[in-house]
């Protein structure tokens, strides 16, 4: 019986793992996320079904099953409480596979981590972070989380880089240098609008500038940001544009001038 369940499971897995076969039968596009989850859910259903069939063929187990069915209500309550977390994760995983807020291979940002969705199992979702660590999140939790999906619909991104220049620096010169370096960046998206720079603030010690530049995806955004921060700083140094930092003047109390003494007013006779 166990061998039969294994053969059926493996046969269905091979068929479902062939996207062309699935698409041909369903007449629609089915991505890897749905196929992977269906394969895992299918395996669970098959082994449970064969297990029930096997139990019904043995007189002792059949009688036990009859007793359990007689108290099905109580059993369902007990099992429900015991497997509450497992069932919640199973249902949430099914919801994620059907509605697909993210798919296997998508770039996402959640829990202050950026990474790639690596797998969606019956119980949890695995995200490979940018530091090559695995973030394992129960499906029930991730189904209720707000996340950023950088791959869904369109991976194109508008990258921003903020810089500050001193009040003595020439804004037009700084803008020109920033745009020249942005156009020289090897990681930017060339088939897009040209980069542009805006003045965004007049701070306590600096004028804030923000560069806008289109990039291909979230991975390219990091490369563009790092490249520009380094090369714009070097260009500013060569051209004499100052990137300021806050100045503080410390005055010790002993160095302060003594307070002015008020002159005594003469007392006039009554």
Task: Express each pLDDT in 54-111 by its tens digit.
Answer: 556 565 555 555 565 555 555 555 555 555 777 888 888 878 877 788 888 899 998 8
> pLDDT at position 4, please?
54
> What is the reported pTM?
0.63
- Smallest CA-to-CA distance from 37 within 52, 22, 53, 51 is with 22
- Looking at residue 96, its pLDDT comes to 83
pLDDT at 10: 60
pLDDT on residue 97: 77
Angle between helices 32-57 and 19-26 (to 10 degrees): 80
Q: Which of 228, 236, 233 is nearest to 211 (CA)?
A: 228
Answer yes or no: is pLDDT of 127 > 60.
Answer: yes
pLDDT, mean over the chain: 78
* Confidence band of 253 (pLDDT split at 50, 70, 90): confident
Q: Which segments of the chain are extended strands (E)?
A: 107-110, 113-120, 124-129, 134-138, 148-149, 157-165, 196-202, 207-215
DSSP letter (8 states) at residue 253 = G
Residue 23's pLDDT is what? 46
162: pLDDT strictly greater than 90: yes
Instruction: Parse the chain into domains and list their residue ranges.
Output: 2-82, 107-149, 157-239
Interacting residues of 12 by C-beta distance below 8 A, sequence separation 6+: 39, 42, 46
Residue 28, pLDDT score: 46
Tell whether the model's pLDDT for residue 259 goes beyond 90: no
**Taking 90 as the threshold, does the pLDDT of residue 182 lie above it?**
yes
Residue with tokens 């999140």: 137
Look up residue 201 and give its two tokens. 């603030």
CATH class, range 107-149: mainly beta
Question: What pLDDT, on a 0 to 100 scale, did the predictor assign at position 27?
Answer: 43
- Residue among 215, 228, 229 at smallest CA distance from 182: 228
Distance of alpha carbon 109 from alpha carbon 174, whole angstroms: 33
Tell me if 46 sits within 8 A of 9, measured CB to CB.
Answer: yes
- The whole-number pLDDT of residue 24 equals 46
pLDDT at position 167 over 60: yes
Q: Which CATH architecture has domain 157-239?
A: 2-Layer Sandwich (3.30)
pLDDT at 266: 65
Sign of CA dihedral 47, 53, 58, 61: positive
Summarize the confidence of residues 204-214 as an average pLDDT: 94
What is the distance between the alpha carbons of residues 99 and 127, in angstroms, rounded to a whole number?
Answer: 18
Task: Read off the pLDDT of residues 137-156 as tens digits, 9 standing for 90 and up.
Answer: 999 898 888 899 998 888 89
What per-residue confidence (pLDDT) applies to 76? Answer: 55
């Amino acid at each position: 019986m166990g061998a039969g369940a294994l053969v059926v499971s493996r046969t269905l897995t091979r068929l479902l793992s062939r996207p062309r076969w699935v698409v041909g039968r369903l007449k629609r596009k089915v991505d890897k996320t749905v196929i992977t989850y269906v394969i895992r859910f299918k395996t669970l259903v098959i082994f449970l079904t064969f297990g029930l069939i096997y139990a019904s063929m043995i007189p002792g187990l059949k009688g036990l099953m009859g007793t359990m069915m007689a108290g099905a209500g109580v059993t369902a309550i007990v099992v429900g409480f015991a497997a509450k977390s497992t069932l919640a994760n199973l249902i949430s995983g099914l919801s994620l596979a059907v509605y697909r807020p993210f798919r296997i291979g998508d770039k996402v940002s959640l829990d202050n981590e950026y990474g790639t969705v690596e797998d969606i199992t019956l119980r949890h979702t695995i995200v490979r972070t940018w530091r090559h660590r695995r973030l394992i999140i129960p499906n029930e939790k991730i189904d209720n989380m707000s996340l950023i999906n950088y791959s869904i619909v369109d991976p194109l991104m508008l990258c921003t880089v903020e810089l500050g220049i001193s009040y003595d620096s020439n804004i037009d010169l700084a803008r020109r240098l920033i745009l020249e370096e942005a156009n020289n960046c090897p990681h930017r998206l060339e088939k897009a609008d040209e980069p542009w720079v805006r003045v965004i603030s007049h701070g306590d010690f600096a004028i804030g500038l923000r560069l806008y530049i289109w990039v291909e995806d979230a991975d390219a955004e990091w490369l563009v940001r790092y490249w520009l921060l380094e090369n714009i700083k070097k260009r500013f140094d060569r051209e004499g544009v100052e990137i300021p930092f806050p100045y503080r003047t410390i005055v010790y109390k002993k160095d302060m001038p003594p307070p002015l003494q008020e002159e005594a007013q003469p007392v006039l006779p009554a």
